Structure 1
Amino acid sequence: MKKHIYDEKNGLSYTLHGDYYLPGLVLNEEEPTYGKYGMLRKQYLKEYRPARYQCLLLTGKLTEHLNQIDRDAREQVEMLMKQMAEEQSVTETLKIRDQMKWVGLMNNIRTSAEKNVLKEIVYI
């Protein structure tokens, strides 16, 4: 029996220990750094897509994936907020004139933008 084998199907290397081949997994010691949308995506993958989560985790691509989702989601939210604010005439002039109305409208815009992004990017 070979001491080391490589499985092309899952991209993992295995080492013979006694009668068993054990995967050559390495624990990543660095603390993952991803934001709100990355954490939401991670939770979604764990609960609803466990096979995909395990695959990303075992290949060491989970943090990279979560960071990419987080970046994409933040950019999309910002872009949608700008577009929606323009459509609803929420301007700096309104902010100066009626601050409470501006805050309320911007909160509604942010909520709508995040709802769309969560549905289209995070929870797929």
Structure 2
Amino acid sequence: MTEEEILHSHFGEWGSMRRDYLRRTQPEEWARMVREGIAEQYLRDYDDVVYDQFVQMTEEACRRDGVTEELKKRDVMKWIRAYNSVLAEVREILRYEVMPPIEEAPM
């Protein structure tokens, strides 16, 4: 797959995010992966692994915060707010893992 094809392909939320991060922050590594033909599979595998983490972390956070089917039956609006909060928390944690902040060089 050419770099152009990779750039126009969707690798899931996490794989696509990782692709963009690597291109921006590690262009030499990205170019090597494309040249060696491993970028596509890397991004697909990466998305699978992070998605599995997302599901596991979401389930754990729901248990921790009491976001249960019982709550959903009792008060659906409260459940929606709580579930959305869990999703935002987990996405933020994983986003940091997928795209760690870039250290700015002192001026």
Paired letter, 2:55: E
Higher percent of residues as strand: 1
RMSD: 2.1
SS of 1:45 mapped into structure 2:
helix
- Which residue of 81, 87, 92 corresponds with 1:104? 81
TM-score, length of structure 1 as denominator length: 0.71
- Answer with 1 or 2: which has the greater Rg: 1
Q: How far does the alpha carbon of each residue in 1:19-69 deviate from its partner, in whole angstroms, 9 at most, with x for none?
A: xxxxxxx85979845111111111101111111110111111011111111
Partner Cα separation in structure 2 for residue 103 and residue 63 of structure 1: 36
Residues 1-124 of structure 1: matches in 2 within 5 Å? 27=2, 32-120=9-97, 122-124=98-100
Q: TM-score, normalised by structure 2?
A: 0.82
Unaligned runs of 5+ in 1: 1-25
Aligned residues: 98
Unaligned runs of 5+ in 2: 101-107
Indicate the percent of aligned positions where both proteins have the same amino acid.
24
Q: Distance between the aligned counterparts of 1:61 and 1:32, measured in 2?
A: 15
Q: Deviation string for 1:62-108 (max 9, x for gaps)? A: 11111111111111111001001101111101001111111111111
Q: AA paired with 1:55?
A: R
Contact persistence 1:77–1:113 (CA under 8 A)? yes
More helix by share: 2
Segment of structure 1 superposing worse, 76-85 or 32-41: 32-41
